Chain A
Amino acid sequence: MIGLVIFAQAVGQTPVEKLVNAFSSGIALGAIYALLSLGFVIIFKATQVVNFAQGAIAALGAYLVVYFATVVNIPGRWIEDIPSWIQWSLSAIVAIAFTALIGIIIERVTIRPMIGQPLFAVAIITLGLDLIIRAVTNDFMNNSIRGLGDPWGAELYEVGPLRVSYTQLITVGVLVAIVLMLVVFFRSRTGIAMQATAFDQEAAMAQGISVGKVFAIAWAIGAVLAAIGGIFSSVAPRAAGVSPVTAFVAFRAFPAVIIGGLDSITGAILGGMLIGLAEVFAGTYLGSVSWLGVGFSGNVPWILMMIVLLVRPHGLFGTKEIRRV
């Protein structure tokens, strides 16, 4: 079922090493979840749509990297003697741009006609999208594991007891970069338009904001973040490549969203970190507890989500719904 995260480093270590490494790989996993849930929250805030297809889009984005980096070989087929990391990054950027385009198309074709319909109906549409995208993506990758061909592989960076893979460092770096970019974006004209739309669609329209354009941009950003999360969740320390399981791994970002609160960007990042740390710590310290059985760590996010929902029904940072008669 859900892919087991392999903790090769966790064997034969001193307690300090175990703790430090669990912490670092928890942060890295948390960064992946934070990326996925950021995309989800941005789509939800701007368009009031719960995007259940986020996991499927993540898998699709990761597959597109496989396609552009290893099958089509962009841009290496035209330019020779190019460092492998530039070659791979350029392919990844092309793939991410493609995913953004797919996000825009999805919004235009399936979400736009549903404006004004009940939230739940739109949420179910995205469930349908999830089925479609997953079926097509699984078929593209022949239902097998496809390596992304990233140049870093399983290379490690060692500082004292800490051993971090390059991919983990890059994941956290990319998350920080994206958060900074988002901060800048939300201060730009378009970003402010998006905030206005999130606050009140009709009032935003009355101010001359093209709500349709804002929706398209929000879906593009959501798809981009999903693709980046999908890429990092299917490279070296986490997985051998993108596979039908990737979409379900990305599904575990939903608990992060709910724990943080559906409409809170800070909540998405903190929720992602919390989920990532909890999952890795459960895998490291409870992995050998036999009565917990197989795949416990993968379900820690869902269990945490249940507990948080019972204590705070709107997540830790979510806006409390105002109920009127």
Chain B
Amino acid sequence: MRGRPNLYTRYSSEMGLFPTTTKKVSIALLGVIAVLLPLAALPFAGYLASSSWLILINRALVFTIAALGLNLLSGVAGQISLGHSFFMAVGAYTAVFLGSEAGSATWGLGLPMWVWLPAAGIVAAVVGILVAPMGVRVRGLYLAFATLGLVFIGLYLWLNLNKITGTPGIGRRWPPLELTLWRGMDPIISFATNGPLWWWLRPVNLLPWVQIDEMTGAAKTYFFVGVLVVLFAIVAKNLMRTRVGRSWAAIRDRDIAAEVMGVNEYKGKTQAFAISSFYAGVGGALFGSVVGQLIPQSWDLLLAVDFIAIVLIGGAGTVAGTLMGTFFVVLIPRAVENATNFLAVQAQDGGALSWLGNLVIRTSPDDPVGIISLGAAGPGLSIFQFNIMLFGVLIIVFLIVEPLGLYGIWVRVRNYWKGWPFSY
């Protein structure tokens, strides 16, 4: 069907991963950009690769894995969960127990990554299966409260199981991302430290004008986590468009009608909780490992709300939306911080935007107006608190104005240009 990209003659072609040529081309382009991004091979990306932005991008990628899980559970299967940070913590602490070396006051087995990373997902999935019967019995808003309870009970556990979670207030170091055969051996590939590419890859000329001698640890982490994100995204997409995902969507839309049609509600919800928790567990383990050290209080309600925000801001029930949502949610605080610092400098030096800086930022306690205050003292929100507030505002604005999220905006923009200049 040449020239008729939206005409599908077979169901399988409509359900294809990349049904149109445009999609194939744009995904391929995105892939090329994603590979070149941390290598300082693109003129603009050099900035990203050298700066701490790449670390944030890594965090966004890790969050994407966990957020995909929540999107499967809440967006596709319709089970409201405020307890995603609990399942992430289960995975993360499985990883730290299996992967880290034992300390004087902590337990640890020091096993290699190929053990602790899958185990993190599996243990979280088992916990998910244990919680699933509650999802069958307790419905709707009551389930939201039950999962909220999980977060608080979880926090109590993490604060008290100090042998695994480390000292309160200090936390514990997560095992680094490195591929070793068994405990005590030298790593084959270390994704966490700077060095030559891989052990078999010598310095290469990727493009005529760039030569890559070595990669930073952040760049290696980026590639490793990036590959995982692609794998998990494909699995999620395939789940959504096959029997399992369709049964979840049926349960979401009307559970009794789904049962009447022969969908096993108990089985469907258990699958949804298990798979969602698997994603959360792997995401949590990677989060710990990428950040390095986390205090037990990190797995709190705010983290769970982060993920709900990611799903809602990105677009519920879509993989592409989840990716957009995580990058938006993870990168916005940093952008706000940079903008604040920029405006503060402008306000002090009297640049072109000094009026805006004067209006928004308090540089000293005597400054009469301003929302954000620099430094701990003085009235006005700190940047951290401003970000939390902005976050709340974004959730509210997106829900009121654009319930389909960033994905909805993207679809509208795309449709506008599809029909351009005959858009109406």
Contacts and interface: CB of A to CB of B under 8 A. Distances in A.
B108 interface: no
Q: Which of B145, B148, B312, B403 has the most CB of A within 10 A?
A: B145
A139 B144 contact: no
B290 interface: no
Interface in A86-116: 110, 113-114
Given A131-B388, A254-B148, A309 B134 contact: yes
Contacts of A313: 137-139, 142
Contacts of B302: 131
A296 interface: yes
Given A1-B159, A121-B399, A254-B148, A136 B389 contact: yes
A178 interface: no
Interface string A279-320: 000000000000011111011001101100110011100000
Given A129-B396, A258-B146, A294-B160, 6 more contacts: A2-B155, A124-B312, A125-B400, A254-B148, A309-B134, A310-B137
B141 A50 contact: yes
Nearest to B301: A251
A173 to B, nearest CB: 30
A124 B399 contact: yes
A321 B137 CA distance: 12
Interface in B136-188: 137-142, 144-146, 148-149, 152-153, 155-156, 159-160
Interface stretch (B18-26, B197-205, B252-260, B341-349): B252-260
A267 to B, nearest CB: 13
Contact of A123 (B137, B144, B297): B144
B286 interface: no
Contacts of A305: 145-146, 149
Nearest to A131: B392
Contacts of B391: 128, 131
A127 B395 contact: yes
Contacts of A258: 142, 145-146
A128 B395 contact: yes
A251 B138 CA distance: 20
Contacts of B152: 2, 251, 299, 302
Contacts of B393: 128, 132
Given A127-B308, A293-B160, A299 B153 contact: yes
A324 interface: yes
Given A293-B159, A294-B159, A299-B153, A139 B399 contact: no
B145 A139 contact: no
A117 interface: yes
10 contacts: A2-B152, A110-B396, A119-B140, A119-B141, A121-B403, A134-B388, A262-B142, A305-B149, A310-B134, A313-B139
B156 A128 contact: no
Given A113-B400, A309-B138, A125 B144 contact: no
A1 B297 contact: yes
Contacts of B394: 128
B153 A306 contact: yes
Interface of B: 80, 134, 137-142, 144-146, 148-149, 152-153, 155-156, 159-160, 254-257, 260, 297, 302, 305, 308-309, 312, 379-382, 385-386, 388-389, 391-396, 399-400, 403
Contact of A324 (B80, B160, B256): B256
B254 A128 contact: no
Q: Which of B141, B302, B312, B380 has the most CB of A within 10 A?
A: B141
Contact of A114 (B144, B255, B260, B399): B399
Contacts of A299: 152-153, 156
Contacts of B138: 309-310, 313
- What is the interface of chain B mostly: helix, strand, loop, or mixed? helix
Q: What 7 A-B pairs are tightest by C-beta distance, nearest first? A: A293-B160, A131-B392, A128-B395, A132-B392, A128-B392, A302-B149, A135-B389
Contacts of B141: 50, 119-120, 123, 262
Contacts of A121: 399, 403
Contacts, number: 137
A255 interface: yes
A295 B260 CA distance: 46
A1 B396 CA distance: 27
Nearest to B312: A124
Contacts of B388: 131-132, 134-135
A244 to B, nearest CB: 10
Contacts of B159: 1, 293-295
B381 A135 contact: yes
Contact of B142 (A125, A132, A309): A309
A189 interface: no
Contact of A323 (B146, B156, B256, B385): B256
B156 A296 contact: yes
Nearest to A130: B392
A139 B381 contact: yes
A124 B304 CA distance: 12
A300 B18 CA distance: 50
Contacts of B149: 255, 302-303, 305-306
A305 B146 CA distance: 8
B386 A135 contact: yes
Contacts of A130: 392
A325 interface: yes
A138 interface: yes
Given A50-B144, A262-B141, A310-B134, A139 B382 contact: yes
B362 to A, nearest CB: 12
Nearest to A109: B396
Nearest to A133: B392
Q: Which of A127, A132, A293 has the most CB of B within 10 A?
A: A127
Nearest to B302: A131
A215 to B, nearest CB: 16
B385 A138 contact: yes
A293 B145 CA distance: 24
Contacts of B395: 124-125, 127-128, 131
B308 A135 contact: no
